[in-house]
C-alpha cells in the first residue's frame, strides 16, 4: 500500500498546515480511500489529483478537525461528477454533525468492517469524548493501523498488534498528558508501538503549540525508529 499524508495537525491547523487526512492506495492503484478529511485536507487531496479516484472516505470520528473538509468536498464533487455517490463510513454520532454529511453526494454507512475493493477495513472503538474508531486496513499482504484520536485502552492495544505501519495520535506532550485526557502523549505512542510490535511508527495529530521534534524525542524513548508524519510525504507499507 501507499500512504500519502494530506494533513497531520489537530485540533486546528498550523500556518500552511492541515488537520487529519491520510490517502491510502493499493499497489495496483485500483483501490483508493481517504481516511479523515479535516481542515485543509481537500486542497491537498486536489493537489494529489485523487478526488476522482476515491473509492470511499472513512472518518474516524466527527470532530471538525477530522471531517470539516467533507463540507466543501460536496461542491468539488458537483464539478467532478461521479457515477454513484461517494461511500462515506462514519460514526453515527454526534447526530447533528453526521446530518451535515447527508447532502446527496455521499452514500453514508456506519463504521462496520467492510471490504472496499482490494482493502479489508476494520474498526475498533477508541477512547475519546465522542464516538471514535481506530481503523485497520489490510491489503497487499500488509496491515496499516490508525489509532484515531484516543487515549490508552487495552482493547485498542490488542487491535494495534503487529501493524506494519502504526499511525498514532501524538496530540499531547508527556507533561500535558493525564489518564483522562482525550489523546495519547507522544511518549505513549512510542510505548504503544513497542508493546504491540509495530514495524514502523508515524506520529500525527500535532498540536501547533508543540515542536514536533520534541514530541518525536519523547516517542523515541520507547521506539527508536519513530517518525513524524509529514504532509506530502509518501510511505510504502
Ligand atoms: Zn482530533
Ligand atoms: Zn477528536
Q: For residue range 175-199, what is the model confidence (pLDDT) as tens digits? A: 999 999 999 999 999 999 999 999 9
Ligand 1 center to residue 83 CA distance, Å?
A: 32
Do the Cβ atoms of 55 and 85 come closer than 8 Å? no
- Residue 66: partners with Cβ closer than 8 Å, 6 or more residues away: 10, 19, 20, 36, 37, 38, 59, 60, 149
Fold of the domain spanning 2-236: Metallo-beta-lactamase; Chain A (3.60.15)
Confidence of residue 42 (pLDDT cuts 50, 70, 90): very high
Which residues have CB atoms below 5 A from the ion given as ligand 1? 10, 65, 149
Of the candidates 198, 177, 189, 183, the residue with the CA atom closest to the CA atom of residue 217: 189
Q: To the nearest whole percent, how much of the chain has pLDDT over 90? A: 100
d(C-alpha 135, C-alpha 86), whole Å:
19
101 CA distance to ligand 2 centroid (A)?
17
**Ligand nearest to the backbone CA of 151:** 2
Distance 61 CA to ligand 2 centre (A): 7
Residues with Cβ < 8 Å from 47, sequence gap 6 or more? none
- State pTM to two decimals: 0.98
Cell numbers 471514535 label which residue?
132
Binning pLDDT at 50, 70 and 90, where does residue 70 land? Answer: very high
Q: Is the dihedral of CA 129, 35, 91, 100 positive or negative?
A: positive
Q: Strand runs (DSSP E) across the chain, as ranges?
A: 2-7, 21-25, 32-35, 56-58, 86-89, 106-109, 114-116, 119-125, 133-139, 142-146, 165-169, 201-204, 227-228, 234-236
Amino acid at each position: 500500500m501507499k500512504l500519502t499524508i494530506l494533513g497531520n495537525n489537530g485540533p486546528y491547523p498550523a500556518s500552511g498546515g492541515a488537520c487529519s487526512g491520510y490517502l491510502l492506495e493499493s499497489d495496483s492503484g485500483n483501490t483508493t480511500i481517504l481516511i479523515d478529511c479535516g481542515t485543509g485536507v481537500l486542497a491537498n487531496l486536489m493537489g494529489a489529483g485523487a478526488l476522482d479516484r476515491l473509492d470511499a472516505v472513512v472518518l474516524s470520528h466527527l470532530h471538525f478537525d477530522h471531517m470539516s473538509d467533507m463540507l466543501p468536498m460536496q461542491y468539488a464533487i458537483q464539478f467532478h461528477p461521479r457515477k454513484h455517490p461517494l461511500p462515506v463510513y462514519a460514526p453515527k454520532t454526534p447526530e447533528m454533525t453526521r446530518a451535515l454529511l447527508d447532502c446527496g453526494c455521499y452514500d453514508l454507512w456506519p463504521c462496520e468492517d467492510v471490504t472496499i475493493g482490494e482493502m479489508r477495513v476494520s474498526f475498533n472503538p477508541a477512547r475519546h469524548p465522542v464516538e471514535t474508531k481506530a481503523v485497520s486496513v489490510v491489503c497487499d499482504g500488509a496491515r496499516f493501523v490508525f489509532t484515531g484520536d484516543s487515549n490508552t485502552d487495552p482493547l485498542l492495544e490488542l487491535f494495534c498488534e503487529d501493524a506494519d505501519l502504526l499511525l498514532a495520535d501524538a496530540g499531547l506532550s508527556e507533561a500535558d498528558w493525564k489518564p483522562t485526557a482525550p489523546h495519547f502523549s507522544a511518549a505513549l505512542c512510542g510505548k504503544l508501538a513497542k508493546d504491540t510490535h509495530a514495524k514502523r511508527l508515524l506520529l500525527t495529530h500535532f498540536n501547533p503549540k508543540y515542536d514536533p521534534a520534541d514530541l518525536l524525542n519523547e516517542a523515541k524513548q520507547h521506539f527508536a525508529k519513530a517518525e513524524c508524519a509529514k504532509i506530502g510525504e509518501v510511505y510504502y507499507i
